[in-house]
Structure 1
Amino acid sequence: MENTQPLAGRIALVAGATRGAGRAMAVELGRAGATVYVTGRTTRQQVSEVGRATETIEETAELVSAAGRASGGPQAPGQAAAVGSGTGIAVPADHLDPERVRAVVDRIEREQGRLDILVNDLWGGEHLIDFDSKLWEADLDQGLRMLDLGVRAHIITSRLALPLLVRRPGGLLVEVTDGTAESNRAYRGSFFYDLTKTAPIRMALALGAELAEVGGTAVSLTPGFLRSEQMLDHFGVTEENWRDGIAKEPHFAISESPLFVARALVALASDPDRARFNGTSLSSGGLAKEYGFTDADGSRPDAEAYIAEVAVGGVDRSAEEYR
């Protein structure tokens, strides 16, 4: 009989789980049985600078617990979900504030005594991206803010959470970014964006070397062309009619739902031999080939290959050939 909760008993922290890939990863970890602490800056009481009030960490935590119940069976009325049944716990935190991050880690230590999976999905800098200006023309404050959100916050979180993660052998650190070591060899079109999205790849390489000494694993993981809530809004579509967005951007045909990268994370975390990937940069499409999972529609979009060969390389092939 297939184990529907391969991560039962595991404790995870998804830093930056308000929406998009972070939310989907938290939910799928819960579906797989993990107890998941979800953090972010947007709550039902306050909204971050991203300005999307409808997506909150409380909602994410509720979705995690619902997925855990659906996968592992409901608890008795009034009974709290047991560790291992898939439970979401929302903790508001600005990961640029070391004291707030320290408080999150202290709570996990106090309540669980362990941390098995750390997902650094901190970002929230879409509104700062400027692909039209050279460095000498760019807004310096906006660029440095992007580095704060996508690099400095990752460093603070790893520094403060890793002491708990390495307490037991087998811990997994996942740095979520945009692109792989291979695809990010080409300039990303914005000085600050390029630095922000390349840094987590190097973080995984460096921390992989350090974690290997204590039996841990670090990787970077990228989705392909992600159909996040913000991206769907940008194209004026929903997940149900997302293909209508192809008329506005033909390369949207290779896009994937957040579920795809979330399934990639769970497959990796459930693999007892995941250390073979230590220090490397991985993609949702690449891991789908490795583990055999699919996106919600049953396809396996390989955005990395499509972008390299078609969008950049000019090969005359349809996106469907890469799904």
Structure 2
Amino acid sequence: MSKQDLSGKVAVVTGASRGAGKGIAVALGSHGATVYVTGRTVNEGDADLPGTVAHTAELVTAAGGQGIAAVCDHADDGQVADLFDRVRSEQGGLDILVNNATFLHDQLIEPGPFWEKPLDMTRVFDVGIRSGYVASWYAAPLLVARGGGLVVFTSSFGARCYMHGPAYGAQKVSVDKFAADMAVDFKPHNVATASIWMGMLQTDRTRRVMAREPEKYAGFWEIAETPEFTGHIISALYNDPKRAERSGQTVVGAELAQEYGITEADGRVPPSHREMLGAPVQAHPAVVQ
């Protein structure tokens, strides 16, 4: 995997106490970025899975970047405003925003129709959809001030196929459309956007799910992506001379990684699930003001 230099660049990764956000933040740090790590978990044990914003920030620094813990509840617009005020004050601008924060209900993957699941499954519309819009709204002036930048939404094949029910699917479709439409507004300012479909991830949450039904998930861990994988893709995309031409697209992360020559640390090439789960749908080029 080629080194993609992010020295002197500033990134915000939302929802990075653990999981995908944690891995993305650490990977950006390995390329030299200063990374603001956001999340709600301050103390180990506050959540039912391991991870805190401070620990992720420490890992970012250990990887070669500068990790900055930023406790933030993305359901609270005031806290989000304070976050980006802090970035402006301390850094003067922003180069990369990764909208990863989302609400994952404990019963998300339970079988059954949506009406038999708790109504608060819809909290993903607040932290998952609205939160990505709000963070982008506050980040936009900082990105524009830099004269270029990148906004990424983490998404999945659930935008195309039935996956975990309609609430989850609606969230993924929404962020894909955010990437497409924000690209139009950002284009005059040389800020690019992308929505990246991740595959199954090697996270503590996934490990817990697989432990409950090992037969069902046999062989999945071996082909799953590490959380850092998407971070390396984001770094390469930011450094791509054709970044502006790609703006607004929804992409399969594993496919973009192959194009950039990115592999896992052990040399493994995670597969695309396009044939099994569907392909991204790109927005029509028409612009109606």
Q: TM-score range by the shorter chain?
A: 0.7 to 0.9
Figure out how many residues of one structure are paired with residues of the other and give that number. 277
In structure 2, give the amino acid aligned to 1:208: A
Paired position in structure 2 for 1:259: 228
Q: Does 1:121 align with 2:121?
A: no
In structure 1, give the amino acid aligned to 2:7: A
Paired position in structure 2 for 1:58: 54
Conservation of the 8 A alpha-carbon contact between 1:125 and 1:149: no
1:184-203 equivalences in 2 (<5 Å):
184-188=159-163, 190-203=165-178
Worse-superposed segment, 254-263 or 96-105: 254-263
* Structure 2 CA distance for partners of 1:42 and 1:143, relative to 1, 3 Å: same
Identity over aligned residues, as a percent? 37
Which residue of 249, 274, 290 corresponds with 2:217?
249
Q: Structure 2 stretches of 5 or more lacking a match?
A: 279-289
Cα deviation per residue 1:107-139 (whole Å; 9 max; x = unaligned)?
Answer: 111111010000000114141415534344443
Q: Secondary structure at the match of 2:273?
A: helix
Paired position in structure 1 for 2:249: 280
What is the alpha-carbon distance in structure 1 between the residues aligned to residue 114 and residue 277 of structure 2?
Answer: 25
Paired position in structure 2 for 1:12: 11
Worse-superposed segment, 193-202 or 256-265: 256-265
* Structure 2 CA distance for partners of 1:106 and 1:46, relative to 1, 3 Å: farther
Conservation of the 8 A alpha-carbon contact between 1:34 and 1:87: yes
Conservation of the 8 A alpha-carbon contact between 1:227 and 1:258: yes
Conservation of the 8 A alpha-carbon contact between 1:255 and 1:303: no
* CA deviation after TM superposition for structure 1 residue 201, in Å: 0.4
* CA deviation after TM superposition for structure 1 residue 250, in Å: 4.0
Cα deviation per residue 1:183-237 (whole Å; 9 max; x = unaligned)?
Answer: 7333335111111121110110111111112111011012111111110122239
Paired position in structure 2 for 1:318: none
Worse-superposed segment, 104-113 or 281-290: 281-290
Higher relative contact order (CA 8 A, sep 6+): 2
Q: Structure 1 stretches of 5 or more lacking a match?
A: 69-85, 238-244, 310-323
Paired position in structure 1 for 2:194: 219
* CA deviation after TM superposition for structure 1 residue 154, in Å: 1.1
In structure 2, give the amino acid aligned to 1:202: K
Conservation of the 8 A alpha-carbon contact between 1:254 and 1:303: no
Alpha-carbon RMSD across the aligned residues, in angstroms, is 2.3
* Structure 2 CA distance for partners of 1:270 and 1:33, relative to 1, 3 Å: same
What is the alpha-carbon distance in structure 1 between the residues aligned to residue 139 and residue 162 of structure 2?
Answer: 31
TM-score with structure 2 setting the length: 0.88
TM-score with structure 1 setting the length: 0.79
What is the alpha-carbon distance in structure 2 between the residues aligned to residue 206 and residue 248 of structure 1?
Answer: 38
Paired position in structure 2 for 1:321: none
